[in-house]
Structure 1
Amino acid sequence: MSHTVTSPLLTPYTSAALRLPNRLVMAPMTRFRAKEDGTPLPVVAEYYAQRAAAGLIVTEGIWPHRRGQSGWRMPGLETEDHAEGWRAVTDAVHARSGRIFAQLMHGGRQGHPRSRLLGDLPAGPSAVAVPGPLHVKDGKVEAPTPRTMTTDDIRVAVDDHVNAARNALRAGFDGVELHGANSYLIHQFLADNTNLRSDGYGKDRARFAVELVEAVASAVGAHRLGLRLSPGNPQFGMVERDPGPVYRPLVEALNPLGLAYLHLTDNDNYPALADLRPRWTGTLIANVGENHAPTTREQGEGVVTEGHADLVSYGRAFLAHPDLPARIAADAPLTTPIDTEHLYTNGARGYTDYPTLER
């Protein structure tokens, strides 16, 4: 028989920007449940509503404009249809008393003409291709060499994020998270091997991130804006030999803005939480499962009790356990397997059919 437990993950959290019933954050995870034009499918509303008991939900990566589209059937926040599609999602989450931020994810060099509505080459800080084959809408192909972004391209990318953030609030989101992690555009400006520029955006690799955060904060309010970073994350061929000298001044520059939160993934080769937490006085969300086994309840509790972060984001645990807070409260095992066969398909199977404790 299950029994109720007391967990620091289930204690409320309040800041100037957030009022959360618990400290469990649903991490952003790409799922490919969008129409070809980027409008979320109706099943997306059910998926997020099932997980509305999370202290905070952060959506999958959403492209701010088709110029930043990195994959086929990934969702967007560019058009009126997109906003209406996401309004159904936010209404469903709010109907269950949940809170949800939209993650804006510009692909930068990520992508291929066969998986982009524009049918064009993606563009990044420098003309450096992603290693290995890419999945496109009709198979696998070698990654193209991206265009190098001009200064005009950079200004347009900032404007695209601003417009998408405004669309997100119009669609009912409680806030926006900028995806500065896991090899996407902001991360590409920060990393050694994807930013080979000789201009101001190369001499100061944090410059683009700072300008982008400031622009979006000015447009929608810093209290509605979060930023995700993954210093030293090697996914998709990213190289950061010594992240500290780049990320320390970045965090110190953003700290006074009063953002809703900083969402930080730890790394085996660079202790990001230990190094950057003292430089961040606001709310910190920690993710300790990136490139590791799924985060356990005990790991998350340790992060909070040891003061490494205020909140903990869970990815795979929320996929397979829609009622994760209830399971932690009941001391129930987190052993439901993920349906990997249908993880990146387009329907309800492997998406909204995971069991809860009640069924």
Structure 2
Amino acid sequence: MKLLEPIATSSLSLTNRIVMAPMSRRRVEDEGVPSELLARYYAQRASAGLIIAESTVVSRDGMGISRLPGIYSAAQIAGWKKVTDAVHAQGGKIFVQLVHSGRIGHSLNIPGGGAPVAPSAIAAKGTISTPAGTHPLPVPEALSAAAVEEMYELHLQATRNALAAGFDGVELHAAHGYLMEQFMHPAANQRTDEYGGSIENRCHLPLRILEGMVAIAGADRVGIRLSPFASLNGLSAYEEEAATHLYLAAKLNQLKIRYVHLSDQSSNGFPPIPPAFISLLRQQFHQWLILAGGYNSCTAQDALQQFNADLIAFGRPFISNPDLVARIAQRQPFAPADKTTFYEGGAKGLIDYPSFCCPATT
């Protein structure tokens, strides 16, 4: 089974082609500091060829959703070091997904308060949960030229911090309607400077950040997550959507970053990524392609062949199946997950799912 075959470059070797997708579990108690629970959670799932740790914010004002981990303080770096050590002790590899929520946030979720920021002062439609209840998404503050420069530096420092914390690499979250995709999308970005207007300008910030990340970590330790056509968090379909992502893919190929990670949200009721688009992107980008989006062991195997993909990312199956790789290898059924424990809480629904051959260890 190709899904279980190893894959390697000169500097990155994975034991199989199964990726644990980044999933926010919102189990952080202190200000963005990963807990011992998260170390145990990820270590239990270290048989994945690659773990991509959950969305991790690069700054205080990037925490638009409450109780996300961060990687901008010494305490957060120390907390993540416990996670990476635990994963490495089990023979696993782990990247971290770097994110800034942009306009998908609220001052009640940002430590110390403060307004959400975005390319332009345009609110996203919808509401957001806060400790004081649900509120409409506010109008964000438009980033000044100096603030854009600071955002660039924050992502580069987060990359340095991730390496100091022992991560094997970093993934830039440019999907799901968060800040990097807000810059790429004309409905959220109506700037008239070098970061707005044309496709090239709208892609300028994520590409510039990736160039900096490559200079720090090396191309083999850098990836990006994209979600074309998903229409998440107030970013609806637009005429240049395919052209924008294909332009980006060609530039990413020149940078030789290790992977592009495509997030298809059709299993959650959103528009799918058209197969023809994936084929076009594959022509532009020649390094690893990771596909994510409601796969099971059979459809994952088919996708590796159909789309010439290199790896398949599994999300929710990894929540309730810490032994997912063994279940796939031994053709065992996947255990169902308790959706009521997906977010927040403690050990329940996080580290108490058993393996089919072993009891849970809490």
With the shorter chain as reference, the TM-score category is over 0.9
Which has the higher relative contact order, 1 or 2, with Cα contacts under 8 A spaced 6 or more apart? 1
What is the SS of the residue equivalent to 1:200? coil
Say yes or no: does 1:245 pair with 2:249.
Answer: no
Deviation at 1:153, TM superposition (A): 1.1
Q: Structure 1: which 5+ residue stretches go unaligned?
A: 1-6
Q: Say whether the 8 Å CA contact 1:191–1:240 is kept in structure 2.
A: no
Q: Look up the match of 2:272.
A: 268
Is 1:108–1:184's contact at 8 Å kept on the other side of the alignment? yes
1:356 aligned to 2:360?
no
Cα distance per residue 1:263-322 (max 9 Å; x no partner): 1124526444222011011111111x2xxxx31111110111234310010101111111
CA distance in 1, matches of 2:243, 2:117: 26
Letter in 2 for 1:265: S
Residue 42 of structure 1 aligns with an amino acid whose one-letter code is: E
Aligned residues of 1:15 and 1:283 also touching (Cα < 8 A):
no
Deviation at 1:132, TM superposition (A): 1.7
Counting aligned pairs with the same residue, the percent is 39
1:280 pairs, out of 282, 285, 290, with: 285
- Determine helix, strand or coil for the equivalent of 1:216: helix
Query: In the alignment, which residue of structure 1 is the partner of 2:232?
Result: 235
| Aligned AA (2:342) | L
After superposition, give the CA deviation of every residue in 1:320-353 in whole Å (9 maximum; x if it has no partner): 111111001110112x221111111230101111
- Decide whether the 8 Å contact of 1:17 with 1:260 is kept in 2: no
Distance, in Å, in 1 between the alignment partners of 2:230 and 2:12 is 28
Indicate the SS of the match to 1:235.
coil
Secondary structure in structure 2 of the residue aligned to 1:317: helix
Answer yes or no: is 1:99 the counterpart of 2:98. Answer: no
Normalised by the length of structure 1, the TM-score is 0.93
Q: Give the superposition deviation at 1:17.
A: 4.2
Correspondence for 1:183: 177
1:222 aligns with 2:219: yes
Q: Aligned AA for 1:273?
A: I
Task: Count residues with an aligned counterpart.
Answer: 347
1:337 aligns with 2:336: yes
Structure 2 residue matching 1:92: 3-state secondary structure: helix
Q: Indicate conservation of the 8 Å contact 1:201/1:207, yes or no.
A: yes
Amino acid at match of 1:356: S
Any conservation in 2 of the 1:231–1:270 contact (CA below 8 Å)? no
Match of 2:158 in 1: 164
Stretches (4+) displaced over 3 A: 269-272
Equivalent in the alignment of 1:47: 41
Counterpart residue number, 1:4: none
Corresponding residue of 2:78:
84
Q: List alignment gaps of at least 5 residues for structure 2.
A: 265-270
TM-fit CA distance, 1:205: 1.4
Residue 117 of structure 2 corresponds to 123
Which stretch of the first structure deviates more once superposed, 317-326 or 129-138?
129-138
CA RMSD across the alignment? 1.3
SS in structure 2 at match of 1:273: helix
TM-score with structure 2 setting the length: 0.93
Partner of 2:268: none
d(CA) in 1 for partners of 2:90 and 2:352? 18
Residues 192 and 240, structure 1, Cα contact 8 Å, conserved in 2: no
